Amino acid sequence: MLNWLRRPKYAQVERREVPAGLWSKCPRCKALVYRKELERNLKVCPKCGYHLRLSARERIAVTFDPGSFVEHAADLDSRDILGFVGYQEKLEEAKKRTGNREACIIGEGTIEGFRVVTAVLDFPFLGGSMGTVVGEKIARAAELAMSKGLPLVTFSASGGARMQEGILSLMQLAKTSAAIGRLRDAGLAYISVLCDPTTGGVTASFAYLGDIVMAEPGALIGFAGPRVIEQTIRQKLPEGFQTAEFLLKHGMLDMVVPRTEMRSTLARLLRFFGAPRETRQEAAVP
Amino acid sequence: MVQAGEGNNTVAEELSVAPTPWEIVQIARHPKRPRVMDFVEGLFGEFTELHGDRLFGDDPAMLAGLALFEELPVAIVGHYKGKDTRENIARNFGMPHPEGYRKALRVMKLAERMRLPVISFVDTPGAYPGIGAEERGQAEAIARNLEEMSRLRTPILVVVVGEGGSGGALAIGVGDVILMCAYAIYSVISPEGCAAILWHDASRAEEAAAALKLTAEDLHRLGVVDEILPEPPGGGHLDPEALISTVRDAVRRHLALLRERPIEELLAARYEKYRRIGQLLEAPGT
């Protein structure tokens, strides 16, 4: 069952005529990779190890035991509360394109049998930005974890607070952090996984409040975006600045975990944090 | 003109022509506007500054210490903007590094142990975006403060006196009661930054200032701010004494109310205050 998690030994790819769409080009090493091979390798380039970004649904599919994930609060919908120019159109477009209603999916499921509550940000949906609904869902995930006595695992990928909801977005930083505070007081564990990219208000709130904070290799993580910093200090940023590896070196992460080892790493940690384990691989009861 | 609400004789009555959001931005940033240090000197009979975060350094952009407010011992945190260019450079324009937020937290935790109410003064363009700030965990420092302030076991009174620059402002801005001067601003992003992202044109900041809903009246209407403190016509810089006196009266009134309430009740209300921002989304019609 875990075969698909192992990084396959990569044989030389035969060059031959193939219909377009069967091959993907790695954004980093530019190698052509057979698309199915890439999917099997969890969208990690088999040539150079580059971690391609995952949507929230893809993240759930590669992280949770098959069929175990049960979504909560799926019906929450954003509105253009401030009447912000162009926001309604952007929301509609993002909904149509991603098939999701917001930039966050929450629910519960099992990872190698360990039951957890999860919240996953969806970068393709308006850059995974946190407005009132995303904040609400994070808070509900923390409260769900408390009501069920389960650990919380979040996967972040976000440009930060959602500008189009103005101050209400900013207040979600306080709301989500307060909810994590209650989770902590309740004695439950919280593991935060930072994926490429996680910046701004998401790092400055729940995403950095994990008891364990880990990241995928190469992920861009920071409070301010690199461009803002360059403009402020008027100099070029050093190579590798704000990558997961950079933050690990500076003591800002517990570990950098390749995607192919994410499930086993989370499971290993969850053992220490009192996550109940289902012996049979069956779907969690909602 | 929107009603300021609850008997505040603000803008509308005192000015024949109400300032636009963009004009309010200019007033909030006015070089002669009273700074946090002016409020500290004007409100407190005695002030003992405390330095350093015990981890890295002492951030000159953050003020922290103990003070007497009409014989009542309190703890103070606040952003430290300079009065002129030289002082501003020394104070990094009131833009803290992680050690600033950690110093503030250290003093707030001390206040919690000594049962001193905390008064926080907000006036910053934002948390500093720089290499050292990222290396030392700007995001983590802000997030930690949000969580800790959400459950600090002592009353917290926040006064937004100038610029409320996003996460860098909120990082000392979580509290039981949030007061805001009539011509202060509070926003998820600066109007210039917003315009640059939206229209790739920072010069359209005036439009962005209106779209962001960043004035005291907007924030009061959105339930983020509890009370608007009226300013002299044209802004506090035209009559600093008047504004300081208004703030003093408001602080006196709210401190008395806050100190009467049992801490458990206060903490529950504080959580709810932030928790409900966004719950309006379930109103009928969504």
**Which residues of chain A are within 8 Å of residue B216 when distances are taken between CB atoms?**
none
On whether ipTM exceeds 0.90, the answer is: yes
Is residue A280 domain-resident?
no
B187, B210 contact by CB (below 8 A): no
Q: Which domain holds residue B158?
A: 18-273
Does residue A83 share a domain with residue A45?
no
Is residue A40 domain-resident?
yes
pLDDT higher than threshold 70 for residue B119: yes
In the predicted model, what is the mean pLDDT of chain A? 91
Q: How far is A242 from chain B (nearest CA, A)?
A: 7
Is residue B5 domain-resident?
no
Question: Residue B111 has which token pair?
Answer: 């206040």
Mean pLDDT confidence for B136-155: 98
Mean pLDDT confidence for B133-145: 98
Does residue A206 share a domain with residue A138?
yes
Mean pLDDT confidence for A110-119: 98
Is residue A285 domain-resident?
no
pLDDT digits (tens, 9 = 90+) for A191-209: 999 999 999 999 999 999 9
Is residue A284 domain-resident?
no
Spatial distance between the Cα atoms of B138 and A247, rounded to a whole number of angstroms = 12
Does residue A91 share a domain with residue A17?
no
Spatial distance between the Cα atoms of B194 and B203, rounded to a whole number of angstroms = 10
Is residue A145 domain-resident?
yes
Mean pLDDT confidence for B175-179: 98
Per the listing, tokens 């990690």 go with A44
Residue of A87, A170, A246 to mutate for B, most B C-beta atoms under 10 A: A170
Does residue A61 share a domain with residue A41?
no
**Which residues of chain B are within 8 Å of residue A172 when distances are taken between CB atoms?**
277-278
Mean pLDDT confidence for A198-221: 98
pLDDT higher than threshold 80 for residue B132: yes
3-state DSSP call for residue B221?
Answer: helix
For chain A, say whether B137 makes contact (Cβ under 8 Å).
yes
Least confident of A14-28, A121-135, A165-179: A14-28
Per-residue confidence (pLDDT) for residue A280, from 0 to 100 = 60
Pick B253 or B4 by higher pLDDT. Answer: B253
Amino acid occupying residue A112: E
Q: What is the CATH number of the domain that holds B217?
A: 3.90.226.10
Is residue A195 domain-resident?
yes
Is residue B132 domain-resident?
yes
Is residue B108 domain-resident?
yes
Mean pLDDT confidence for A161-166: 96
Which positions 29-88 of B are in contact with A (Cβ < 8 Å)? none
Does residue A249 share a domain with residue A176?
yes
Least confident of A175-184, A204-213, B13-22: B13-22
Is residue B215 domain-resident?
yes
B274, closest residue in chain A (CA to CA): A175
Per-residue confidence (pLDDT) for residue A13, from 0 to 100 = 47
**Which residues of chain B are within 8 Å of residue A201 when distances are taken between CB atoms?**
166-167, 188
Pick A249 or B199 by higher pLDDT. Answer: A249
pLDDT higher than threshold 50 for residue B274: yes
pLDDT higher than threshold 70 for residue A21: yes
Per-residue confidence (pLDDT) for residue B204, from 0 to 100 = 93
CB-side neighbour CA atoms (13 Å) of B175:
29
Does residue A64 share a domain with residue A41?
no
Could you give the number of structural domains in chain A?
Answer: 2
Mean pLDDT confidence for A78-106: 95
Q: Which domain holds residue A129?
A: 53-272
Is residue A258 domain-resident?
yes
Peptide bond into A197 cis (omega under 30): yes
Is residue B11 domain-resident?
no
Spatial distance between the Cα atoms of B124 and B168, rounded to a whole number of angstroms = 7
CA A234, A238, A242, A243 torsion-angle sign:
positive
Cβ within 8 Å, pair A168-B150: no
Is residue B10 domain-resident?
no
pLDDT higher than threshold 50 for residue A9: no
Closest partner residue to B213 (CB to CB) among A77, A78, A166 is A166
Per-residue confidence (pLDDT) for residue B278, from 0 to 100 = 64
What is the band of A214 on the pLDDT scale with cuts at 50, 70, 90? very high
Cβ within 8 Å, pair A173-B167: yes
How many interchain CB pairs under 8 A, A with B? 181
For chain A, say whether B212 makes contact (Cβ under 8 Å).
yes
Residue of B277, B280, B282, B286 to mutate for A, most A C-beta atoms under 10 A: B277
- DSSP of B75-105, one letter per residue? EEEEE---SSHHHHHHTGGG---HHHHHHHH
Is residue B281 domain-resident?
no
Tell me the percentage of chain B whose pLDDT exceeds 70. Answer: 91
pLDDT higher than threshold 90 for residue B202: no
Q: DSSP strand E in chain B: where?
A: 46-49, 62-69, 72-79, 118-124, 156-165, 177-181, 185-187, 227-229
pLDDT higher than threshold 80 for residue B4: no
B280, closest residue in chain A (CA to CA): A132
Does residue A39 share a domain with residue A75?
no
For chain A, say whether B151 makes contact (Cβ under 8 Å).
yes
Looking at chain A, list the stretches that DSSP marks H as alpha helix, in order from N- to C-terminal side: 35-40, 56-63, 87-98, 132-148, 166-185, 226-233, 244-249, 262-272
pLDDT higher than threshold 90 for residue A227: no
**Which residues of chain A are within 8 Å of residue B281 when distances are taken between CB atoms?**
76-79, 132-133, 136
pLDDT higher than threshold 70 for residue B11: no
Closest partner residue to B134 (CB to CB) among A165, A173, A242 is A242
Cβ within 8 Å, pair B224-A178: no
Q: What is the CATH number of the domain that holds A237?
A: 3.90.226.10
Cβ within 8 Å, pair B131-A233: yes
Mean pLDDT confidence for A71-99: 94
What is the band of B57 on the pLDDT scale with cuts at 50, 70, 90? very high
Phi then psi for residue A196, to 5 deg, are: -75, 130
Cβ within 8 Å, pair A222-B127: no
**Which residues of chain B are within 8 Å of residue A232 when distances are taken between CB atoms?**
128-130
Domain boundary among the residues A14, A33, A52 is at A52
Closest partner residue to B129 (CB to CB) among A172, A180, A224 is A224
What is the band of B80 on the pLDDT scale with cuts at 50, 70, 90? very high
Is residue A283 domain-resident?
no
B211, closest residue in chain A (CA to CA): A84
What is the band of B280 on the pLDDT scale with cuts at 50, 70, 90? low
